[in-house]
Structure 1
Amino acid sequence: MFYHVQRMINEIVPDEPDPGAANALQEGLGGQFGEMRTMMQYLFQSFNFRGAEAKPYRDLLHGIGTEEISHVELIATTIARLLDGSPRYQGNPTELDEPAAGGGTPLSNALSQGNIHHFLVGAQGAMPVDAVGNPWSGSYVYNSGNLVLDLLYNLMLESTGRLQKCRIYEMSSNRTLRSTVSYLIVRDQAHENAYAKALESLGVDWGRTLPIPKTRAERYPEVAALLEQGLENRQYTFSLDNLSEAGKLFRATSPSDGDKTLSTAQAPEGVPIEIADPRPEEFSPGLDPALLELVQATAEQELAEAEEPVRYGSTS
């Protein structure tokens, strides 16, 4: 059973729209080694897990898989922010050009930057595709049923994803892109450490292999700030009832930072979620005044009901 807290797992720093950067980031979302893949792979491995005596490993897979849901939310929202805007139009309905009026065209950059489907199909939002538009596929998911094989494959997946995110960081100086990619670089290293530690408990000696790629990426200032917080050596259980036993696997030093130890926590604090403004040029969300009034009334009613005290039983 899952619960949703309406907070983003990491802050998305505002910057100018950049459809090209958004398209590069699609690889980290819907690519073969992207966040949709890690989310589905780890959750399916945990759902299909067998052997009660190996519960700490199941809980590790379940905790990281749950975190990956928040990574999908983070990276998809970042893509939408990078797409949110176009030349000569920044969300002001009064500046929309009338057809054939001779002015600027609000969606003209859809023809020359990034993926045209972001504008033509997705209304300036993320899509479940890779950077060249190939749809995400369930065939990416690896779940052999063998614990050692699955952990090895997961470590390879995190390492490849981290390698690609380091490359994406180098592709753009856009602060919106870099704030999200930097966080994911560090968390991918944390997951590398987690799977490596799990494999160590099964007899694998990593020596000097990790991290992959062979850098802690501290030369990236955004990454350095997160490393100062020890985020690469922290694992989250996302266990509301505190029944996770994943912490049993973290009793010694970090596989990639030999002088540091791994730690566990229930969940990160996160940051408030902001809902993006409407896009009139995309007819999104397309609410007329009557519908807007209905939506507002419904929202106010739900808020009032949520604030009412819960009453149990009855009085006579």
Structure 2
Amino acid sequence: MFMHVQRLINEIVPDEPDPAAANALQEGLGGQFGEMRTMMQYLFQSFNFRGNGQAKPYRDLLYGVGTEEISHVELIATTIARLVDGSPRYQGSSTAPLDEPAAGGATPLSTALSNGNIHHFLVGAQGAMPVDAVGNPWSGSYVYNSGNLVLDLLYNLMLESTGRLQKCRIYEMTANKTARSTVSYLIVRDQAHENVYAKALESLGVDWGKVLPIPKTKAERYPEVKTLLDQGLGEKQYLFSADNLSEAGKILQGASAFKDGTTLSTDMGRPEGVPLETAPERPEEFAPGLDEALLQLIQATSEQELKTSG
């Protein structure tokens, strides 16, 4: 059972629209090694987990990381939408029907023909989609769930390593602050999850360190990443356990599996997060939200309910 808190797990730094950067981030959302796969893979491993008793901490670990991945899907999808739709610095007209976002032109969707993924405008009304960077739909066949704990944990470590590798590449593709703020956060959390799965494998006697993680070098040369690492974000795992019954902390304790001098820690709760803002209406996409008549009906209904309840 899951609950939704109306806060983003990390701040999205405002910058100008960048549809090309948004399309690169689609790989990190709906690609073979993206956030939709990590979310579904870890949750299905949790749902299908067999064994209780001494095995329970490993199930709880998978549940905790899988639940966090839901928030990563939300974060990266929201970032893509802001990069396509515009940003808090948007300087176009909110009333002119033929205004091009951030450009003041007369052809509102012309950027769709020259930047990024045309489906963001043609199909998605300036929002994220469950596809990769070339438009291939996300597939459930990406999910690996063998039923063998060691195999599943190895695949998860490989998945986090590959995801971090791709996000490091995305970081170097764009200087857009909106894109980089989200990519940097996900790089750090991917590294934290690599640590989690490596530590779990070590507790099962598996010598994983001769091959993984990949890339071998940390991304500390990225200033945004270093800031987050300095805050200890790479060493902590949130368990998202509302009833405090998670036993994953039995595994995730002591020295980091990376042998970098840091110590692992767990938190039964969730990150504090930041306020979650709703995207503005986009009349040029014929996605205006609620029309005036419907708003009046909602207001009248609300007033009537207040009178009744009073």
Relative to the length of structure 2, the TM-score reads 0.91
Change (3 A) 1:298 1:117: farther
Superposed CA offset, 1:275-300 (max 9, x none): 11111111113432111233455678
Superposed CA offset, 1:109-153 (max 9, x none): 000111100000000000000000000000111000000000000
Structure 1 residue 301 displacement after superposition:
8.2
Tell me, which stretches of 5 or more residues in structure 2 are unaligned? 100-104
Whether contact under 8 Å (2:191, 2:234) holds in the other structure is yes
* Partner amino acid, structure 1, of 2:68: E
Structure 1 residue 258 displacement after superposition:
3.0
Alignment of 1:162-177 (within 5 A): 162-177=164-179
* Partner amino acid, structure 2, of 1:260: T
Structure 1 residue 230 displacement after superposition:
1.1
Change (3 A) 1:92 1:141: same
Superposed CA offset, 1:39-88 (max 9, x none): 000000000000002000000000000000000000000000000149xx
Instruction: Work out the CA distance in 1 between the residues paired with 2:64 and 2:238.
Output: 6
The answer for the alignment partner of 1:9 in structure 2 is 9
Equivalent position SS for 1:94: coil
Among candidates 168, 178, 181, match of residue 179 of structure 1: 181
Among candidates 270, 275, 278, match of residue 278 of structure 2: 275
Instruction: Work out the CA distance in 2 between the residues paired with 1:250 and 1:269.
Output: 21
Superposed CA offset, 1:206-250 (max 9, x none): 446554211221111110100001111110100000000000002
Equivalent position SS for 1:95: coil
The answer for the alignment partner of 1:312 in structure 2 is none
Is 2:222 the counterpart of 1:220?
yes
Among candidates 287, 292, 296, match of residue 290 of structure 2: 287
Equivalent position SS for 1:159: helix
Change (3 A) 1:81 1:194: same
| Count of matched residue positions in the alignment of Structure 1 and Structure 2 | 299
RMSD, aligned CA? 2.1
Change (3 A) 1:282 1:224: same
Whether contact under 8 Å (1:210, 1:255) holds in the other structure is no
Change (3 A) 1:142 1:292: same
The answer for the alignment partner of 2:29 in structure 1 is 29
The answer for the alignment partner of 1:151 in structure 2 is 153
Q: Which runs of 4+ in 1 moved over 2 A?
A: 89-98, 205-212, 292-302
Change (3 A) 1:208 1:297: farther
The answer for the alignment partner of 1:124 in structure 2 is 126
Instruction: Work out the CA distance in 2 between the residues paired with 1:207 and 1:288.
Output: 58
Whether contact under 8 Å (2:158, 2:213) holds in the other structure is no
Instruction: Work out the CA distance in 1 between the residues paired with 2:133 and 2:281.
Output: 25
With 35-44 and 273-282 compared, the bigger mean Cα shift is at: 273-282
Equivalent position SS for 2:266: strand
With 293-302 and 281-290 compared, the bigger mean Cα shift is at: 293-302
The answer for the alignment partner of 2:102 in structure 1 is none
Instruction: Work out the CA distance in 1 between the residues paired with 2:226 and 2:51.
Output: 40
The answer for the alignment partner of 1:67 in structure 2 is 68
Change (3 A) 1:139 1:55: same
Among candidates 81, 106, 109, match of residue 108 of structure 2: 106
Structure 1 residue 90 displacement after superposition:
4.8
Whether contact under 8 Å (1:28, 1:165) holds in the other structure is yes
Whether contact under 8 Å (2:157, 2:213) holds in the other structure is no
Tell me, which stretches of 5 or more residues in structure 1 are unaligned? 309-316
Instruction: Work out the CA distance in 2 between the residues paired with 1:118 and 1:298.
Output: 35
Relative to the length of structure 1, the TM-score reads 0.89
Change (3 A) 1:210 1:262: farther
Superposed CA offset, 1:180-206 (max 9, x none): 000000000000000000000000234
